[in-house]
Amino acid sequence: MRFPVIMTLLIVSESTRPCYPPTGDIMTTTDTNSIETTTASPTEHKVSKIVLVLLVLAGLLIAVRTIATMREEVRMINSPPPPMTHIVVPEFSLTRHDGEPFGLTNLKGKVWIADFIFTRCAGPCPKMTQRMASLQTVLAGYDNVAFVSFSVDPQHDTPEVLTNYAKHFSSDLKNWSFLTGDRDAIFDLCLRGFRLSVSEDPDADYDDMIIHSTKFALVDEDGKIRGYYEGSEDADITRLVNDVSKLAQQ
């Protein structure tokens, strides 16, 4: 496990080491008429030593980061799949962004990630959708992984609106479904099905009109929720990728 770290240090220190004459050395240039000698000044030696020290420190920093990354990878590889919860996603009947009906049966046998967003949201929703797009890219190697984004503003977010919105984030929507439908059904699914918060204030501005959770929910092949992950936290997203990978390989 230490070999890559040692190699990193060697590569950094050897390949980037400055070339300068040792203290007291004489650099000599000769032509047929004269011999010119120049002695490196103390200032030049001091600068060279400082550069060398900085390079060594940079190498140590890379080594520390490499060790931390390797330890995290080992921990994630050896970690078990996320534990089951008692929460089972209930049946639902909504409409996909392409106009096709979509329900829980369409996700049977899939490991899937869900979030709740709306297209007029100028706050966390674009960031969450971008996160989901990144997850889609990272997990592209798994055919049994799907992504589902529920709109909590279904009266505005028609299939056409959702399609236009989705195209800003992904060019491949085969395994990513943006859903709309009955407002009460979606709110009930969010609150009682996924146990995530959502509320509405019709008199507020678009940014504050609908307040909803910014968490991703991971659902297994049997429709059971296996975990929640804060969409704004890098550590949670890393954990989510690891958990999806574990479930997808079972």
pLDDT given for residue 90 in this prediction: 96
Instruction: Indicate whether 26 belongs to any domain.
Output: yes
Q: Indicate if 73 and 97 belong to the same structural domain.
A: no
Where does the pLDDT of residue 136 fall: very low under 50, low under 70, confident under 90, or very high at 90 and above? very high
- Of 168 and 60, more confident: 168
The H or E element that residue 215 is part of is strand 215-219
Closest CA to 92 of 230, 193, 235: 193
- pLDDT above 70 coverage of the chain, percent: 71
pLDDT given for residue 196 in this prediction: 96
Boundary residue ending a domain (78, 110, 137): 78
Strands 111-117 and 35-39: unpaired
- Of 118 and 39, more confident: 118
Distance in angstroms (rounded) separating the CA atoms of residues 206 and 189? 22
Residues whose CB is less than 8 angstroms from the CB of residue 102 and which lie 6 or more positions away in sequence, other chains included: 93, 94, 95, 96, 177, 179
Where does the pLDDT of residue 122 fall: very low under 50, low under 70, confident under 90, or very high at 90 and above? confident
Distance in angstroms (rounded) separating the CA atoms of residues 53 and 98? 60
pLDDT above 60: residue 11? no
Q: Tokens at residue 246, please?
A: 């574990």
Q: Indicate if 169 and 242 belong to the same structural domain.
A: yes
pLDDT above 70: residue 21? no
Instruction: Indicate whether 147 belongs to any domain.
Output: yes
> Tell me, what CATH number does 188's domain have?
3.40.30.10
Q: Indicate if 102 and 74 belong to the same structural domain.
A: no
pLDDT above 60: residue 38? no
Mean pLDDT lowest for which of 184-193, 202-211, 227-236?
Answer: 202-211
Q: Indicate if 208 and 231 belong to the same structural domain.
A: yes
Distance in angstroms (rounded) separating the CA atoms of residues 214 and 150? 12
Q: Indicate if 102 and 196 belong to the same structural domain.
A: yes
pLDDT given for residue 34 in this prediction: 47
Q: Indicate if 137 and 202 belong to the same structural domain.
A: yes
Distance in angstroms (rounded) separating the CA atoms of residues 114 and 218? 7
Q: Indicate if 44 and 162 belong to the same structural domain.
A: no
Boundary residue ending a domain (45, 78, 111): 78
Q: Indicate if 187 and 123 belong to the same structural domain.
A: yes
Q: Tokens at residue 99, please?
A: 């106009």
What integer is the mean pLDDT of 138-165? 97
What integer is the mean pLDDT of 17-28? 42
Residue 210 dihedral angles phi and psi, to the nearest 5°: -130, 120
Q: Quote the domain boundaries for residue 133.
A: 93-248
Q: Is the Cβ–Cβ distance between 151 and 189 less than 8 Å?
A: no
The H or E element that residue 149 is part of is strand 145-151
Q: Indicate if 150 and 179 belong to the same structural domain.
A: yes
Where does the pLDDT of residue 55 fall: very low under 50, low under 70, confident under 90, or very high at 90 and above? confident
User: For residue 105, what are the CA distances in angstroms to 90, 91, 110, 223, 228?
Assistant: 11, 8, 10, 10, 22
pLDDT above 60: residue 92? yes
Q: Indicate if 42 and 152 belong to the same structural domain.
A: no
Instruction: Indicate whether 84 belongs to any domain.
Output: no
Q: Indicate if 216 and 243 belong to the same structural domain.
A: yes
Per-position b or e across 172-202, b if 16+ CB within 10 A of its CB: ebebbbbbbbeeeebbebbeebbebebeeee
Boundary residue ending a domain (33, 49, 78): 78
Compute the CA torsion angle 143, 91, 243, 85 (nearest 10 deg).
-150
Instruction: Indicate whether 85 belongs to any domain.
Output: no
Instruction: Indicate whether 83 belongs to any domain.
Output: no
Domain count, the chain: 2
- Of 7 and 77, more confident: 77
What integer is the mean pLDDT of 91-116? 97
pLDDT given for residue 78 in this prediction: 53
Where does the pLDDT of residue 84 fall: very low under 50, low under 70, confident under 90, or very high at 90 and above? low
pLDDT given for residue 63 in this prediction: 55
Q: Indicate if 216 and 144 belong to the same structural domain.
A: yes
